[in-house]
Chain A
Amino acid sequence: MRLWLTALLAIVRREALRFVHQRSRFLAALVRPLVWLVVFAAGFRAALGLSIIPPYQTYITYEVYILPGLCGMIQLFNGMQSSLSLVYDQEMGSMRLLLTSPLPRWWLLLSKLLAGVAVSILQVYVFLAVAAGFGITVAPLGYVALLPALVISGLMLGSLGLLISSTIRQLENFAGVMNFVIFPMFFLSTALYPLWKMAESSTVLRDICAFNPFTHAVELLRFALYQSLNGWSLLWVCLSFALFFGLALLGYDPAHGMTRRRKGG
Chain B
Amino acid sequence: MTMTMQDDISRMTALDVSGLGYSYGARRALDGVSFALRPGRFTALLGPNGAGKSTLFALLTRLFVSGEGKITVAGHDLARSPRAALSRIGVVFQQPTLDLDMSVAANMRYFAALHGISGRDADRRAAEALARLGMQERAAEKVRNLNGGHRRRMEIARALIHAPQVLLLDEPTVGLDFKSRQAIVAHVHDLAQSGLTVFWATHLVDEIRDGDDVVVLHRGKVLAHEPAETLRGDRPLSDVFIAMTAEEGAA
Contacts and interface: CB of A to CB of B under 8 A. Distances in A.
A85 to B, nearest CB: 12
Contact of A265 (B53, B87, B99, B113): B53
A18 B95 CA distance: 21
B99 A14 contact: yes
Interface residues of B: mostly helix, strand, loop or mixed? loop
B97 A97 contact: yes
A28 interface: no
Given A4-B116, A264-B55, A100 B111 contact: no
A4 B117 CA distance: 10
Contacts, number: 99
B50 interface: yes
Given A259-B58, A264-B64, 4 more contacts: A18-B99, A97-B97, A100-B62, A102-B115
A96 B95 CA distance: 10
Contacts of A254: 62-65
A259 to B, nearest CB: 5
Given A94-B99, A254-B65, A100 B113 contact: no
A204 B24 CA distance: 44
A14 B113 CA distance: 11
Nearest to A256: B65
Interface string B79-109: 0001110110101011111110110000001
B245 interface: no
Q: Report the interface size class on chain B.
A: 35 or more
Q: Which of B87, B94, B99 has the most CB of A within 10 A?
A: B99
A23 interface: no
B65 A10 contact: no
B63 A6 contact: no
Nearest to A94: B97
Interface residues of A: mostly helix, strand, loop or mixed? helix
Listed from nearest, the 9 A-B pairs whose CB atoms lie closest are A10-B113, A3-B116, A264-B55, A102-B87, A265-B54, A93-B97, A101-B114, A264-B54, A93-B95
Interface of B: 24, 29, 49-55, 57-58, 61-65, 82-84, 86-87, 89, 91, 93-99, 101-102, 109-111, 113-118
A213 B53 CA distance: 44
B99 A7 contact: no
Interface residues of A, number: 35
B93 A103 contact: no
Contacts of B115: 7, 101-102
A9 interface: yes
Contacts of A99: 62-63
